[in-house]
Amino acid sequence: MKNYDIKDSSLAQEGRLRIDWAGKEMPVIKLIKERFSREKPLSGVRVSACLHITTETANLALALKEGGAEVVLCASNPLSTQDDVAAALVEYGVPVNAIKGEDNETYYKHIITALEHKPQITMDDGADLVSTLHKDYPKLAADVIGGTEETTTGVIRLRNMARAGKLIYPIIAVNDAQTKHFFDNRYGTGQSTIDGITRATNVLWAGRKVVVCGYGFCGRGIARRAQGLGAQVIVTEVRPIAALEAAMDGYQVMPLIKACQVGEVFITATGDMNVIDKMHILEMKDGAILANSGHFNSEINIPALESLAKSKKRVRSSVDEYTLKDGQRIYLLGEGRLINLAAAEGHPASVMDMSFANQALCLEYITRMQSKLEPAVYPVPEEIDQEVGKLKLASMNITIDSLTEEQKNYLASWELGT
Ligand SMILES: NC(=O)c1ccc[n+]([C@@H]2O[C@H](COP(=O)([O-])OP(=O)(O)OC[C@H]3O[C@@H](n4cnc5c(N)ncnc54)[C@H](O)[C@@H]3O)[C@@H](O)[C@H]2O)c1
């Protein structure tokens, strides 16, 4: 019986080429794959992974398979699947249930199919798979030894579950590894968000007034890249210290309602809901462009935008024009879903190399620990984080200094002063 659901098997050849291309930028995953191939640390482990179906995820899945894991994949967002990659993975023997543009019902049907694999390890990006297991299929947890979570929003949801006493197995917060969020969230989201908006609209960034909502790791990356292209960047925040940092990094900082009067492109990256709300939309100038790079499509209040509009039409792929009652036009990109994946290819492979090296090594760690971890959200073990950093540096041919014995003693002492 067919154990996959994809758009079109004939796209496999294109997908294979693109997976290979991304693989060239993933030297750390390559090293891990080679070792996994020899040592088979995941032999027979059933893994259900809910991740964006991209070329980088394909390289991760193939490394896990090489390590002996039985991996099935579903999408972590209805718009982020690359259908050619899904087709190629199926040919490689990794069942995928994901189609770009699937509706919500199909999205959850695919998650359920991934759960029918009876996972021993879950991999999630946003916690939709884990929350579906907990809400609707808690009995499956009997087989689960642990899981991993890729993104900020997923980690927040899982910590909330743990706090409420609802989390029934241990999960490692891969997002919180330094070699993940310092790089993936900042440089990966920074570059690919600008890429997505450019592909969707072909706007010139130089001189454009860009409002970045949220100055966390993603927001910092987006603001920096937009500024690098010549945009005038305004940052909005709710945390005083993040706002201060933005101001000292050289951006204008103000409440969003004020920024709406001048902004031309608005980009949300907060992990919050209704950040751009009805009152903001009403203040915006004709032609304002709205994009979201946060995990869920809740950062822009789309129902409010719909209710304000007298008409809506698709004017380019990934661009919907909403005409409000007074004639003002607002352009929503990628249906408010993370724009770097909806309109571009997501993060460049080189940065996903580190995120997914953490994922692969954490799966090995969970398998090794078996049932020794209590249900809780765990950090990535420090030695894994450091190892990923070292391997990445080596792959970039960068060498660094090391402490002398004298310096080690000095740094470990308190007696020596002026
Ligand atoms: N697009 C991608 O590929 C991608 C990659 C990584 C993370 N993410 C997602 O992006 C989102 C942000 O991630 P992060 O790592 O930057 O998180 P973060 O916690 O580092 O930063 C979020 C920031 O948003 C601010 N914020 C919250 N509500 C706000 C509001 N109403 N107005 C203004 N600012 C507000 C917070 O104070 C915080 O500084 C999450 O949903 C995460 O899962 C997306």
The answer to whether residue 309 scores a pLDDT higher than 90 is: yes
Binding site membership of 216 for ligand 1 (Cβ less than 6 Å): yes
**Cα–Cα distance measured from residue 61 to residue 22, given in angstroms and rounded to the nearest whole number:** 13
CA atoms of 300 and 409, how far apart (whole Å): 53
Going by their DSSP bridges, the two strands 232-236 and 288-292 should be labelled as: unpaired
Residue found under tokens 């698709």:
314
Closest atom of ligand 1 relative to the 219 alpha carbon: 16
Query: Are residues 318 and 343 in contact, defined by beta-carbon separation less than 8 angstroms?
Result: yes
Q: How many other C-beta atoms lie within 10 A of the C-beta of residue 136?
A: 13
Cβ proximity of 152 and 181 under 8 Å? yes
The pLDDT of residue 418 is 80
pLDDT at 330: 98
CA 333 / ligand 1 centre spacing (Å): 18
In the predicted model, what is the mean pLDDT of residues 211-234? 98
Q: Does ligand 1 come within 6 angstroms of the Cβ of 293? A: yes
Mean pLDDT on 189-199 = 98
Cβ-Cβ contacts under 8 Å for 341 (sequence gap 6 or more): 52, 54, 77, 79, 80, 192, 196
Checking if the pLDDT of 1 tops 80, the result is no
How remote is the C-alpha of 275 from its chain's centroid? 19
pTM score of the predicted model: 0.94
Residue 153 beta carbon below 6 angstroms from any ligand 1 atom: yes
CA of 39 relative to ligand 1 center, distance in Å: 38
Q: What is the SS3 assignment for 48?
A: strand
Integer CA distances (angstroms), 406 to 399, 401, 402, 415, 418, in order: 21, 14, 11, 14, 17
For 32-89, how does the pLDDT look when each residue is reduced to its tens digit (9 = 90+)? 999 999 999 999 999 999 999 999 999 999 999 999 999 999 999 999 999 999 999 9
Q: What is the C-alpha separation between 197 and 133, in angstroms, rounded?
A: 34
| Residue whose CB lies within 8 A of the most ligand 1 atoms, among 128, 178, 185, 220, for a mutation test | 185
Average pLDDT value for the chain: 97
